[in-house]
């Protein structure tokens, strides 16, 4: 385990201006960093979170807030559902938009509990808003309504 951590670290570049830690090792066909962790080929960004003690449950993706697929800075990563990841890609123009096909990530579709949980777990409005893909203003209004402050 220790040696895996060391080997992993050896593939991490110096942080860029935006704070991204770019993967210097091999990349998978989608442009994500690839790392063989205990003999199992995994996404480097997923391993980065795992080494930080955050294991993404099966079926959930590790997403980038910075949109840099090579980035393994855990501050730029969050665990999201596949649909959130797609929503993320969609909002960044990577997927074709089909009208009506995207019911997720509208703030009114989310429960207060989910928003409060995002706020508490992310530790700041800015990060929470990013993690649930809503504007800061909308999130603040909703949290206030829900009595989170
Ligand atoms: Zn980054």
CATH of the domain at 41: 3.90.75
Average pLDDT, the chain: 82
Higher pLDDT, 32 or 141: 32
**How far is ligand 1, taken at its centre, from the CA of residue 101, in Å?**
29
What pLDDT digit, counting tens, does each position of 60-105 carry? 788 899 999 999 999 999 887 766 666 666 666 655 444 443 334 5
**How far is ligand 1, taken at its centre, from the CA of residue 73, in Å?**
6
Give the E-state strand segments of 49-135 in sequence order.
60-64, 77-81
Element of type H or E holding 33: none
Nearest to 84 by CA among 66, 106, 116: 106
Q: What are phi and psi of 56, to 5 degrees?
A: -75, 120
**How far is ligand 1, taken at its centre, from the CA of residue 77, in Å?**
8
83 with 96, same domain: the answer is yes
What pLDDT digit, counting tens, does each position of 56-72 carry? 777 778 889 999 999 99
The boundaries of the domain holding residue 121 are 106-149
**How far is ligand 1, taken at its centre, from the CA of residue 127, in Å?**
13
**How far is ligand 1, taken at its centre, from the CA of residue 11, in Å?**
15
Greatest mean pLDDT among 10-19, 98-107, 136-145 lies in 10-19
Q: How many domains does the chain have?
A: 2
**How far is ligand 1, taken at its centre, from the CA of residue 129, in Å?**
17
**How far is ligand 1, taken at its centre, from the CA of residue 91, in Å?**
17
139 with 96, same domain: the answer is no
């Amino acid at each position: 385990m220790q040696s895996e951590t060391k080997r992993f670290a050896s593939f991490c570049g110096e942080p860029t201006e935006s704070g991204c830690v770019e993967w210097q090792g091999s990349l998978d066909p989608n442009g994500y960093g690839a790392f063989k962790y205990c003999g199992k080929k995994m996404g480097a960004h997923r391993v980065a979170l795992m080494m930080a003690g955050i294991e993404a449950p099966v079926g959930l993706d590790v997403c980038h807030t910075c949109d840099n697929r090579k980035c393994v800075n855990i501050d730029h990563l969050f665990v999201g559902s596949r649909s959130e990841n797609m929503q993320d890609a969609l909002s960044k123009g990577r997927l074709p938009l089909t009208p009506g096909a995207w019911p997720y990530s509208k703030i009114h579709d989310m429960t207060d509990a989910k928003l409060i949980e995002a706020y508490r777990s992310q530790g700041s409005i800015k990060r929470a808003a990013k993690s649930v893909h809503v504007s800061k203003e909308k999130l603040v209004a909703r949290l206030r309504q829900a009595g989170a402050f």
